Amino acid sequence: MCEVMAEASHVPHHRKKISFLFSAMRHFAASLADHGWQVTYVRLDDPANRGSLEEEVARFLEGMPCGRITLTEPGEWRLREAMQGWQTRFGIPVEMLEDTRFLCSHARFDAWAEGRRQLRMEYFYREMRRHTGLLMDGDQPAGGRWNFDAENRKPATVDAVFVEPLRFPPDPVTQEVIALVEARFPHHMGAAMPFWFGVTAEQAREAFQSFLEHGMAGFGDTQDAMLSNARFLNHAVISHYLNAGLLDPLEVCRAAEQAWQDGRAPLNAVEGFIRQIIGWREYVRGIYWREMPAYVSQNFFDATRPLPAFYWTGETSMACLRAAITQTIEEAYAHHIQRLMVTGTFALLAGISPQALHEWYLAVYADAYEWVELPNTLGMSQFADGGLLASKPYAASGAYINRMSDYCKGCHYKVNEKTGPKACPFNALYWDFLARHADKLRGNPRMAQMYRVWERFSPEVQAAFRASAGAFLQDLA
């Protein structure tokens, strides 16, 4: 097992993310040794460390000749391509095993996708429900519906009480890692401390169990809400544990199903939770491996604007972006609506390069690995794949953010003003986005109503929207 600079700095990963992974690795190595495995572990600060996985394998083989290399398929196309060349370089067979942290193999996903005109998650999700038997009543969905998303879009009240995710004080191993990360990555986003992530499978299960007992019942209704004083609401905050392999996806889904069967959580909450794991998580992985390597270069709207500096600092007058980015800097976490409808929607409307946004998301979130982050960014958030993943762009004006959060109340901009220097930038940017891309979007059935609204505006109103958006984008540049 190797801590190598090539992976830690492939993008400028958040210091909490690096700390979490290195500590989890060290704890896992110790657990393996306790169970009788012979483990060679290379630390980042080992003077002999050659800095990359391939070179560390080369160094290992120099000291211990082997007849075969066996490894698990990595979660990134770049690494898989490199590892497929190891057999030639090292002159011994390389066996790449399937990653068992997932429920849908590449072959199963390809079989589902083959011949379909549209690869919509909803239909894949139904297939996964049948495959796993989760929330099924015979061959029908429990409760008579596959999807309870319509019940999971309520705003949260500012006086609502939410349960914080379970926190774990860093033990000596983690403290040593944190000191290393702070010394070696001083220019990466955020700080490692305060650090509260679990770093073992046992701690990850404790964190999930705490959510199951205290947060699951309230998760569904407000899973799309955003509040300034409640960063986590009733979210599970376990995606970094799942994606690092500290939790088993089927195990947590079965536990959630049991909570519904026992009457401890409503169906809309449990269905929404399970859909995120056996639906979205498995689906975007399937898309990633099926569409790479061309997928990473998709840019349907030809967006080229550089990522604004405030994505790294949080220093902006837009309260919603400031809240989401500041939380990201401090926690290496933001929930899916903050990512999709705040940082993602702004980038979409402003014409920011989807590749630049992709690298930012990959760097700053503790749960971000390319297999999950890239399709969510280029497909779901930025519509850069032209509709392979999403049926329409997730574009919205300030009204959506105002409805789903309390961010707008203390903002420098006025969400009810449509144009002018004090108007919420999302408002003019939304209509300007539609006007800029009318040739590509007007024929989309899900966008037809909004284009009818745009066409009912007088030429003067249309010009005012576009002028206001243009002035904001000029200032942004």
Res 104 pLDDT > 90: yes
Q: What is the pTM (predicted TM-score) of this model? A: 0.95
Domain ranges of the chain: 106-163+215-291, 310-476
Average pLDDT, the chain: 96
Please report, rounded to a whole number, the percentage of residues in the chain having pLDDT higher than 70.
Answer: 100
Q: For residue range 226-263, what is the model confidence (pLDDT) as tens digits? A: 999 999 999 999 999 999 999 999 999 999 999 999 99
What does the pLDDT read at residue 51?
97
CATH of 106-163+215-291 given 1.10.10.10, 2.40.128.690, 1.25.40.80, 3.10.180.10: 1.25.40.80
Give me the architecture of the 310-476 domain, per CATH.
Answer: Orthogonal Bundle (1.10)
Give the residue-averaged pLDDT of 76-104. Answer: 96
Please report, rounded to a whole number, the percentage of residues in the chain having pLDDT higher than 90.
Answer: 95
Res 401 pLDDT > 90: yes
What does the pLDDT read at residue 28?
98
Q: What is 221-289 written as a DSSP string?
A: TTTT-BBTTBSSTT----HHHHHHTSS-HHHHHHHHHHHHHTTSS-HHHHHHHHIIIIIIIHHHHHHHH
Res 159 pLDDT > 90: no
Give the residue-averaged pLDDT of 218-231. Answer: 91
Q: Are strands 136-137 and 94-97 parallel, antiparallel or unpaired?
A: unpaired
Q: For residue range 428-464, what is the model confidence (pLDDT) as tens digits? A: 999 999 999 999 999 999 999 999 999 999 999 999 9
Look up residue 97 and give its two tokens: 């095993």
Confidence at 281, pLDDT banded by 50, 70, 90: very high
Res 58 pLDDT > 90: yes
Res 45 pLDDT > 90: yes
Res 426 pLDDT > 90: yes
Name residues whose C-beta falls within 8 Å of residue 308's C-beta, 6 or more positions apart in sequence.
316, 350, 352, 476
Q: Are 192 and 19 in contact (CB under 8 A)?
A: yes
Give the residue-averaged pLDDT of 143-152. Answer: 90
Res 156 pLDDT > 90: no
What does the pLDDT read at residue 149?
85
**Which runs of E-coded beta strand occur in 36-125?**
69-72, 94-97
Res 157 pLDDT > 90: no
